[in-house]
Structure 1
């Protein structure tokens, strides 16, 4: 449930109430009604009666904290993370995976109902492991002057302060095992006070570290990092400025999808949940129903996560991407995998696309995977191409619904919708939808 905040906070009353939440919002708070007002209650789950203390009152809603659980839900579980109460990374570890998924699916369906008048039938949630799934994590680094030690961890909830961590159960095990030795290694550097952040990524050919440093590293510091890399079998990249990476040691990273090898720059976007990514690509391919004669357009294509698997099956594929470096990587990936029927083009798809060379070509199927801003600029040109099928991969249900309205008004029907549980233990809702041209719906 979306929350809209007033700019004028009202004085907290510290009133104690007894309520039963009816749903869970994206922040992991129970949502209840009390005396005609919506109450958001931290620590409460749907269906359980709780005693809660209101600590903030606003015109249309109040915020409260659970004081006592009077009748616990059978969907309540013990959080797996020791830092769950303070870390800002997760907000739903106290809810079972089944409750998290059903609540997200319900929220997605209700959003469609409110905005379009349709309640689409949703297929089974596409999901993987509830923990140990995250193959990328950025860790803040901060030298604590008084304690004379380096802190490494994630941001606290509603704060810029760090939660120093030694474990993180949502990270893949190979990265989690690096947390303690990595902090120890970085603490031994002479540049300890000039470190920005450390990003850990698990590629299919091994883990890698991107270290942001705000001052030049000495030869001794570089040697320490080289020894750490050798000991833990990882690649290290140094980011002395915001635009350039220096590979200190290791090999170019890649990951596999659909039996293809996709190389990437350590700073490139890749889906953090490898298993759900595999399932998502497979679902997109199934819904596109690609034939050997098809010409497919892949918008917001990145470095080819969908483009290259499509190219294995179609006559021709064109991928369009707004980041030039990703276009170059996509071209390289096509060459590595021996795919000659695919072309990558550079264009900002949030701007007018009508004059682009691909805009007037005859594509009979389209896939798009936009950023959170959606695809409002691209859709009018897409529908002019009159594709039979459109598969839309979304990381923002609000823009998915907005773009759905455009497609519905252009003669397309929403025939399939599935939620992607890409980020278990959080409120993020990702989804995949199939739109079919009505003239092809029963052909």
Structure 2
């Protein structure tokens, strides 16, 4: 009988080797060298020797997972979360906060130095506590028909499967305390099979929840949710679709920064780490060295997290944002805080902002806080405005390094760099940079 080759029959034996970890990358993976290339090892820390199994072998790098540690780093700590290593939310709870910060700062300096062609030191790290910092969370909901049980939690690492969590130590205590009673409440709803997700937010005036439901809610379900919200003093919002938001009870949320009150919609973006946000805003104000005659442009301004503190100090401020709802919220917040020297505008920041009527006055200083995609479309237009100082707040060091090239080529100097420890225990790396031009 003839036999034909089938790729499915091929059996590959994964290689097990012993390596010494040299450093930690930004995502919390140990980095070793093997056969002349980088080997990324999950679960291992610098200084540790480990028996590892290679799970992916590429031309430029390889990946492995730890089978056995032969020694332990003094900076290895016991994770507080029982779901760590399964839940995809955190990647570095096994490393001390100091090690996490040093590793992220080193990678940030390496990337900026490589892209700018000069050595770029990290001047400071803005940080706060490593636990109970997250004031916003979105949890998936999934009803398991076989077990008749509602899952509520975050996604597994590299998977669409939910991790059914009972606690989350990086959440604000008020939100963490809601997890178990909220699951119990949702499990009793008639609509338990048709729930999408739930969002929890800790505002300065208390917690709120947004429930995404896929079908219209029965009156009995609404009553149960309202009882829950009153019992736990939670503002309740219902979302029958991605565009609609029904405020059932409670006040609209707000938070404070620089002694200003910023009202926001439950779906609006706000900085997750309140303490680091306060430090970040204060640092941006100090770096810009605002004078009473300054005219400042705030790009990607959102609802005014930087714009309104700037307006307290400058002659006038213009905030520009691509989302109309945030522009309106920024203008509202300016009015609530009695700031009359600030204006908000909607604009496509991929287009030439220098042609906008509000740009005719000229600006002495610029702040920008773009999304992960960066600000490639607006960088050349910033140089046309020729501000004396530019502060760039970044949530993606790769696009920050790319966009910095435009300012450096236009004669700006990179003066200061701060790493923002906005998301301890995760692979997120945020930073801010000051550029100046004589």
Q: Is the 8 A contact 1:140 1:162 kept in 2?
A: yes
Structure 1 stretches of at least 4 aligned residues deviating more than 3 Å after TM superposition: 10-13
Is residue 360–residue 385 contact of structure 1 (8 Å, CA) maintained in 2? no
Paired position in structure 1 for 2:191: 191
Aligned to 1:160, what secondary structure does the other structure show?
coil
Summarize the alignment of residues 145-160 of structure 1 with structure 2, pairs less than 5 Å apart.
145-160=145-160
Q: Output one character per residue of 1:36-89: Cα deviation in whole Å (capped at 9) or x when no partner.
A: 132111111111111112233223222211111112111111111100010000
1:423 corresponds in structure 2 to 423
- CA 1:352–1:386 in 2, change beyond 3 Å: closer, same or farther? closer
> Which consecutive unaligned segments of at least 5 residues does structure 1 have?
1-9
Judging changes above 3 Å, is the alpha-carbon distance between structure 1 residues 431 and 11 closer, same or farther for their aligned structure 2 residues?
Answer: farther
Matches within 5 A, 1:273-312: 273-312=273-312
Show the counterpart of 2:4: none
* Residue number in structure 1 paired with 2:7: none
Rounded Cα–Cα distance in structure 2 between residues aligned with 1:378 and 1:359: 13
Distance in 2 separating the partners of 1:359 and 1:86 = 50
Distance 2:12 2:55 in 1: 5
Alignment of 1:253 with 2:253, yes or no, is: yes
Instruction: List runs of 5+ in structure 2 lacking aligned partners.
Output: 1-9
**Alpha-carbon distance between aligned partners in 2 of 1:424 and 1:69, rounded to the nearest angstrom:** 24
Q: Name the residue aligned to 1:237.
A: 237
Summarize deviations over 1:372-423 as a string: whole Å, max 9, x none. 1111111111111111111110001011111111000111000000000000
**TM-score, structure 2 normalization:** 0.96
Q: Which residue matches 1:204?
A: 204
Q: Which residue of 1 aligns with 2:271?
A: 271
Distance 1:391 1:11, change over 3 A: farther
How far did 1:160 drift?
0.8
Give aligned pairs, total: 429
* DSSP-derived class of the 2:428 partner: coil
CA contact (8 A) 1:12 1:55 kept: no
Partner Cα separation in structure 2 for residue 64 and residue 399 of structure 1 = 28
1:5 is matched with none
Which residue in 2 is equivalent to 1:361? 361
**SS of corresponding position for 2:100:** helix
1:55 and 2:41 aligned: no
Partner of 1:168: 168
Q: What do you get for the CA RMSD once the two structures are aligned? A: 1.2
User: Is this contact kept in 1: 2:19–2:51, CA < 8 A?
Assistant: yes
SS in 2 for 1:422: coil
- Residue 268 of structure 1 aligns to a residue whose secondary structure is coil
Aligned to 2:3: none
Once the two structures are superposed, residues 251-285 of structure 1 have per-residue CA deviations (whole angstroms, 9 ceiling, x without a partner) of 01000000000000000000000000000000000
